[in-house]
Amino acid sequence: MAQSPRAGENIYGQATIPMGLSNVVAIAAGNRHSLALRSDGTVAAWGNNSQGQTNSPVGLSNVVAIAAGTFHSLALRSDGTLVAWGDNNQGLTNSPVGLSDLAVSVIGSVDLCAPGIYTLTYTSTNILGGLGTATRTVVVGDALSPIILSNSYNPANRQMTLIWTSVPGAVYSVVHSTNLAAAGGGFSPLTSGIASSGSTTTNTVTLPAGPAGFVRIRLLNLP
Q: Using one digit for the tens of pLDDT, what is the confidence trace for 2-58?
A: 444 444 567 888 878 888 888 888 889 898 899 999 888 899 999 999 999 999 989
pTM for this predicted structure: 0.47
Domain ranges of the chain: 24-140, 147-221
Comparing CA positions, the residue from 17, 80, 92, 87 lying closest to residue 55 is: 87
By C-alpha distance, which of 223, 117, 115, 216 is closest to 173? 216
Answer yes or no: is pLDDT of 173 > 80: yes
Domain 24-140 has CATH 2.130.10.30: yes
Query: By C-alpha distance, which of 135, 84, 144, 73 is closest to 114?
Result: 144
